[in-house]
Structures are given as C-alpha cells and as structure tokens.
A and B are shown apart, each in its own frame.
Chain A
Amino acid sequence: MFKNVYNWIDERLDITPIWRDVADHEVPEHVNPAHHFSAFVYCFGGLTFFITVIQILSGMFLTMYYVPDIINAYNSVEYLQTQVAFGQIVRGMHHWGASLVIVMMFLHTLRVFFTGSYKAPREMNWVVGMLIFFVMIGLGLTGYLLPWDNKAYFATKVTLEIANSIPVLGPVLKELLQGGTIVGAETLTRFFAIHVFFLPAVLLILLVGHFIMIRRQGISGPL
C-alpha cells in the first residue's frame, strides 16, 4: 500500500535521487561510536538538532493554549499546565529542552573546537554555527518572559540591562526590545513575536546553511 503510493509519486516526480542525496551517505569510521566508543562526541550536533525539533514541535502545541497578553498570559500557562492533559509534560519538554539545547550546542562547539574542525576549509560553517549560538541564546531569553511570572519579569529586566550596557546603541536597543519605557504589555507581545516568528525563521535558514555546508565539505578527518 505504502509502496504503491510511493511508486506512484516516484514515477511522476522522480524523488528517489533526492532522498538518496539526503539520507544515503557514508559515515566515516572515526565518527562512528560502534567502532570507537569515544566517537560519541560527534553525536552532539545531531542531538542539538533533535532537541531543536522537539522544541519546535512542543512550542507549536503550547501556542494552542498560550496567549501573549499581560492579563491572560500567566493564567493561560497555569491552565495548560494544571488543567490540560499532558500539559505538564509538553510544557516540561519545552522548559527542559530549552536548557538542554544550550548544553548540547555547547558540547558540540567544544568538540568542533578540540578536533580543530573549524579550520580551513570549514571556517564559514564555524561562523554560521556561532550565529546559530546567538539565535539560540536569543530564543532562550525571549522565551523566558512569556510565562509572565515574577521570575520572568525580573530576568527580563536583567536581559534588557545587558542590552542597555552596549555602548552608544544600548539605550535605543533596550527601548526597541522593550517596546516602550517599561517592561509591560508591549514587551510581552514583542518578545512573543520574536520568540515564535522572527528567531525560528532565522534559525531554520541558518540550520539549512549549516547542513548544506557540512554535506558539501564532509566531516573533518581523524585526529
């Protein structure tokens, strides 16, 4: 049944070669944990991506209940966490995954650094990776405000003070991020938009670049 459907589409669109390009490639021995167990360090990039997928999925589902509004934000989070089936699990995935993605990304960066994989010809991929790092930090900082509780509020005050400390541009950037002169209704909607639309879009573009480059250049050789 499934095979027939696949064949029907394949006859018309010839999708098998595309599938081959994506999935069918050799994994060198020195990055295969089945050969050398220490090669598990090469898994951190893939794990980062795996958790990112979970973040995107759980985030999509959370927006079914969440509202970015100062009166209802906290209530909607409390409702989805305590009243909706599996609400604690889905929000838990997003909450813990957010920390885990930073950890995995950091370990991935260490692996790339200590294997010297950032060297020519892969310098551009290192730069794109660093951009992904900053986007992830941005996602973490903007997402932190959304539950609109005390911790979120004061953590965001700190975040905005960090932005404020940038020479010359700081105060303007702070007011721009804040959407006004106080952390309030406009800050919440702004952070929501950045967290849910702007940064994920940038992240996906950067990830595509990251993956195309690694596929073009291959994994760096053994030490």
Chain B
Amino acid sequence: MSNQHEEHESSHKPPVRKEMSRRQFLTYTLGGATAFMAAGVALPMVRFAVDPILQKKGEGAFVKVVEISKITSEPQEFSFELKQQDGWYLSTANLTAWIRKDESGKIYALSPICKHLGCTIGWNNDKNFPDEYHCPCHGAHYTKQGKQLAVASKPLDEYKVMLKDDWVYLGEIIPNTIVK
C-alpha cells in the first residue's frame, strides 16, 4: 500500500507540506494533557491562596466618637473602638484621633500615626516644639493642620468625619486633605 502510494507520489512533483513529526505531535499532546491536569490541581489552590486580596473590602463604617460641643480649637485626643471582622475572628481595635475645629468651625480629625516610621505622635508633648505634634522616636513634628515640618515626608493622615445629631463620627483613614 505505502509503496504504491510512494510511486504515485514520485510521478508528480512532491507537494510541499509542513508536516509535524509523530514525535513532535506526541510531545505536544502529552505536554498539553499534563499541563491541563496540573492546572486542574493547581488553580483551585492558587485561587484559594490569593482570596484575601480579591475579597470585597467592606465600606468603612463610621464610629460615634464624641459630642460636637466638646470640640475646641485646641486639638484633643479621643479614643474609640472599631469592631473588625478578621477572618474567623471578631475583635475590637482601640483607635485614637486628635480632633479640633479650625477658625471657620470646620471639624477635622488627625491620625496619631507618624508618617515617618509609624510611631505615635502627641500634641504639645515636647517643650522644644510648642503647639505642634511631635513624635518621640525620631523627632518628626507637625503643625496643627498636620503639615510635616521635619523628618517625615508626608502630612499626618486624617479620618473621614461625619457630623450627625450633635455627635462626631469618624470613618476610614485617608491622606491629609487640609494641607497641600
């Protein structure tokens, strides 16, 4: 059969066909099938592992912190509790904020986390830096509005503020919007 076929072929011009060798075909088939099965095993595990970054982030809830009448133009520290669901574990985080109202009566709240390396700043806590926020770790200090004066490269973060029924509510932490 094959001999007849060859004779038949040789009587004409052999057609130019790009043929895949049997070895190549089997290599591709085996490789493809192996890759498919390996992916079937690996993909669920990878999706399982990356789940935390793909989970929908909950809308930052607002927490009731203090009566509006207690806010002065001098920054005051207020602490509040934030309920957070951490996987299977429900916990409360204790947070603090420095809250004041500016000359026009606008209330804003600054985060006490130093923008240098994350220590906790205080208001008026160093006599060399009166009426400033000062960080005891590496001497970063900030103005009332949170503008950085030394060491740190960014102004203090602020909390989202919501005023309702004579109370100040604080939400998620956002970059400072008061100073440029």
A contacts, CB < 8 Å to B? 54, 57-58, 61, 64-65, 72, 75-76, 78-80, 83-87, 89-90, 93
Contacts and interface: CB of A to CB of B under 8 A. Distances in A.
Nearest to A73: B88
Nearest to A75: B88
Given A84-B51, A85-B51, A85-B54, A72 B88 contact: yes
B48 A84 contact: yes
Given A75-B88, A85-B54, A57 B45 contact: yes
A72 B47 CA distance: 23
B41 A61 contact: no
A79 B41 contact: no
Contacts of A84: 48, 51
Query: Chain B: interface secondary structure?
Result: helix
Contacts of B118: none
B44 interface: yes
B39 to A, nearest CB: 13
A61 B87 contact: no
Interface of B: 41-42, 44-45, 47-49, 51, 54, 87-89
Q: Which 5 A-B pairs have the closest CB atoms?
A: A79-B88, A75-B88, A86-B44, A89-B44, A86-B48
Contacts of B41: 54, 57, 93
Contact of A58 (B45, B51, B54, B87): B45
Contact of B48 (A54, A61, A76, A78): A61
B88 A85 contact: no
Contact of A90 (B45, B88, B89): B45
8 contacts: A57-B45, A61-B48, A75-B88, A84-B51, A85-B47, A85-B51, A86-B45, A90-B44
A76 B48 CA distance: 14
A194 B12 CA distance: 74
Nearest to A53: B41
Nearest to B37: A50
A76 B88 contact: yes
Nearest to B42: A57
- Identify which of A54, A86, A89, A93 gathers the most chain B CB atoms within 10 Å of its CB: A86
A2 to B, nearest CB: 12
Given A85-B54, A86-B44, A89-B44, A61 B49 contact: yes
A3 to B, nearest CB: 14
A76 B47 contact: no
A53 to B, nearest CB: 9
